[in-house]
Chains A and B, each alone.
Chain A
């Protein structure tokens, strides 16, 4: 058996030593890990939320509403453009239905001009010269504006991208430990916050669009319309945020005086006179000036503070609000004011996000999982090792050493891949223990068999390894196929299981075949045994 020259033995040993060293940080506690000098690599395995406790939330962009809004904005801009961009173009029957905006031009002579103005409102998307909206003249005087597929996809993409950043900013403000925020597919965002026990505040923070607007109240409107939540043209009837206290709606002008986009800061605070909890706002230059101008012109009249389409309050303007600072109240608690301030600071969500999956695991149950899973793993390993030893003797010891090395290597590789260990992952570990010995069982049984057939020691060992390897190879490849498919199609815990399985297949073939073989050949070379007890 010359297949393991000394250099190869040293190389494999070095590899195993490195593997074991890389696995050690994962087995230490946080405090112990601190003690490792910085020049040493210290990868450690991540615990999944089911083991560490925490909140996993899957958010989905509400694209239907988003597309609706986009169409509404287009329709508003068309209206403005016909009035403001040059000579007035009179239009009629402006409607937004069936996913398109359509209107008619009163004067046929202005048709081309109108088309031109609408085209100017569209944006090019991609490299093909396509635009985000198509503008067509249908039915003589009617112009139809439709969002193009590419345009919509691009808009959703940008909105979700921005939303991901907003979500990240909001969670960072919460100051939690190592949150993970990943965009998934075109419309989803995964948020994982370890060690967080109550998901409610997180969800209310993430689900909030935080679209803040200041608009003038339409004080000319009929109070009965307000009660019935109907609005005259150019105005909008919005409900109160606190429905129980006030019935009906507030009729506000469509035009936005100042919006949350013009904020530079938002802080929770207290009103010095009344002691009420407030949110203090600071506007940027243009925002502050606009706020000052409008309030100066409207002293004595009410304006509405609107958050996510609901009216927080509609106070009278007692004096012009100059200097760019404002204070809003709305029966806040300290916590809710703080949440609102965070949401406002981190910006408006360009698209509404809904929580479509939410999994919360308490920290205690996670610890219990690690403890019980670890214990089960250890007992299983000891039981299997004992069994291997009494069945195969020396060869069993080799298998057991390989098995232990295998566990270290899985940990090391997972730590280096930055993979996550989940509860089913622990089960994966236990299974790998059971399965890793299969290769050795196959080999050892084959060696027994070859010996029975009268082969000499070296010959029996060599043939045993060679013949068994074929089945080991085929069996592991098929398992690998299963594991890989599980990884690509599975989600959450299933993936956690698949990672351990796939990594375990690779390391177990290496340790159970190559490493045991090395040990056997070194033993045979040094001791030149006269008989083989197996």
Chain B
């Protein structure tokens, strides 16, 4: 049987030739993402902004009466409710921001969602209330802080780990690559105004994890090659390492992408933002491990001598910790 080979054995692409263009491109994208996030802002869901969100499905296949609903809610004296269709034609999500008064009085906030759901059940026959989320300003602030903390800590802990297992230059490189991925994801959410909620923080942390998978696979090969080819220039050595791991990169990204595309295509609408972020993360993460994590090693003067002091002790330790034997 002939097996499929996505990347021919003789592949030798000079990735690093484009490193300067790539880094400029990356910097522009990163700056644009940060600016966009700062100016346009993220579309925070109730998890982070507080307030209420009601999701409802109207009777069989009828298009959701968004305009009518908007008027009915305004008639209840509730201002600034945003009503959007999501998923199927007959599904809506209604979002109400937390009001100043309701921030101090949780009971008032809950009353708002109760009134809206009762009105909907009375006015629209066959409507099904799918979910009601009500988060007070206090809780949403805490959730936001906890999310930001988890994100920050994860990045620092991961960079420290890489520093311990490799060298400081690799830690810095990984951190830059991570920062790039996170910034771009934020930029994506600021651009599309997809709802940014707790699930997205989970997606971000996972993106960090998998972007790192790629980075570590490349770094591991660079470390190996630095020891193996002591005379080789750094640029061809990086190219060699990226090429040697290319088959794996393509294969893994592809299988991950298959899983995610299936989830976007068929999975529950509630997961749409989450899975989209993940899919984006797969591509950005792969790109950044080649064009951010690797070139930084050149600028930080990684050379054949980088791993020399640890060659004996370090090597043994690595083998002990590894799984293969």
Chain A positions within 8 Å of B, measured between CB atoms, are 3, 50, 58, 60, 199-200, 203, 207, 354-362, 364-365, 368-369, 372-373, 375-376, 379-380, 383-384, 387-388, 390-393, 423-424, 426-427, 430-431, 433-435, 437-438, 441-442, 445, 448-449, 452, 462, 465-475, 477-479, 481-483, 485-486, 488-494, 497-498, 501, 509, 513-514, 517, 533-534
B237 CB → nearest A CB, Å = 17
A390, B4: Cβ atoms under 8 Å? Answer: yes
Q: Mark B258-287, 1 if CB is under 8 A from A, else 0.
A: 111011011110110011001000000000
Residues in B whose Cβ lies below 8 Å from that of A354: 106-107
Known: A50-B131, A475-B216. 8 other contacts (CB 8 A): A359-B132, A369-B268, A373-B271, A383-B259, A465-B323, A466-B324, A479-B209, A481-B157
A391, B6: Cβ atoms under 8 Å? Answer: yes
A482, B205: Cβ atoms under 8 Å? Answer: yes
Residues in A whose Cβ lies below 8 Å from that of B252: 434, 437-438, 441-442
Q: Which 6 pairs across A and B sit closest by C-beta, in order of nearness?
A: A469-B324, A466-B324, A489-B150, A434-B256, A471-B220, A434-B259
A50-B113 Cα distance, complex, nearest whole Å: 18
B266, A490: Cβ atoms under 8 Å? Answer: no
Q: A207-B107, A466-B325, A497-B202 are in contact. Are A478 and B162 (CB under 8 A)?
A: yes
A465, B114: Cβ atoms under 8 Å? Answer: no
B262, A393: Cβ atoms under 8 Å? Answer: no
CB nearest to A432 among chain B residues: B259
CB nearest to A512 among chain B residues: B323
Residues in B whose Cβ lies below 8 Å from that of A477: 161
A356-B216 Cα distance, complex, nearest whole Å: 42
A372, B255: Cβ atoms under 8 Å? Answer: no
A424-B266 Cα distance, complex, nearest whole Å: 14
A423-B247 Cα distance, complex, nearest whole Å: 32
A387, B106: Cβ atoms under 8 Å? Answer: no
Judge whether B138 is part of the interface by a CB distance below 8 angstroms: yes
A354-B104 Cα distance, complex, nearest whole Å: 11
Residues in B whose Cβ lies below 8 Å from that of A392: 3
Question: 10 A-B pairs, CB-CB below 8 angstroms?
Answer: A362-B128, A372-B266, A430-B259, A434-B252, A441-B248, A448-B9, A449-B244, A466-B324, A478-B212, A501-B209
What is the interface of chain B mostly: helix, strand, loop, or mixed?
helix
Chain B positions within 8 Å of A, measured between CB atoms, are 1, 3-6, 9, 55, 57, 106-107, 110, 113-114, 128-136, 138-139, 143, 146-147, 149-150, 153-154, 157-158, 161-162, 165, 198-199, 201-202, 205-206, 208-210, 212-213, 216-217, 220-221, 224, 244-245, 247-248, 251-252, 254-256, 258-260, 262-263, 265-268, 270-271, 274-275, 278, 318-319, 321-325
Residues in A whose Cβ lies below 8 Å from that of B5: 391
Residues in A whose Cβ lies below 8 Å from that of B162: 474, 478
A533, B3: Cβ atoms under 8 Å? Answer: yes
Q: A354-B106, A473-B322 are in contact. Are A424 and B199 (CB under 8 A)?
A: yes
B263, A376: Cβ atoms under 8 Å? Answer: yes
CB nearest to A452 among chain B residues: B9
Of the candidates A50, A427, A471, the one whose C-beta lies within 8 Å of that of B216 is: A471
Residues in A whose Cβ lies below 8 Å from that of B133: 358-360
B132, A360: Cβ atoms under 8 Å? Answer: yes
B198, A490: Cβ atoms under 8 Å? Answer: yes
A431, B259: Cβ atoms under 8 Å? Answer: yes
Of the candidates B130, B131, B208, B248, the one whose C-beta lies within 8 Å of that of A482 is: B208
Residues in B whose Cβ lies below 8 Å from that of A514: 323
Q: A431-B259, A469-B323 are in contact. Are A492 and B136 (CB under 8 A)?
A: no
CB nearest to A486 among chain B residues: B205
A427-B270 Cα distance, complex, nearest whole Å: 11
B213, A438: Cβ atoms under 8 Å? Answer: yes
CB nearest to A390 among chain B residues: B4
A437, B255: Cβ atoms under 8 Å? Answer: yes
CB nearest to A385 among chain B residues: B255
A435, B210: Cβ atoms under 8 Å? Answer: yes
Residues in B whose Cβ lies below 8 Å from that of A489: 146-147, 149-150, 153
A92 CB → nearest B CB, Å = 35
A379, B262: Cβ atoms under 8 Å? Answer: yes
CB nearest to A505 among chain B residues: B209
Of the candidates A361, A375, A427, the one whose C-beta lies within 8 Å of that of B271 is: A427
A198 CB → nearest B CB, Å = 9
A13-B5 Cα distance, complex, nearest whole Å: 32
B94 CB → nearest A CB, Å = 14
Residues in B whose Cβ lies below 8 Å from that of A491: 143, 146, 198
A196-B239 Cα distance, complex, nearest whole Å: 59
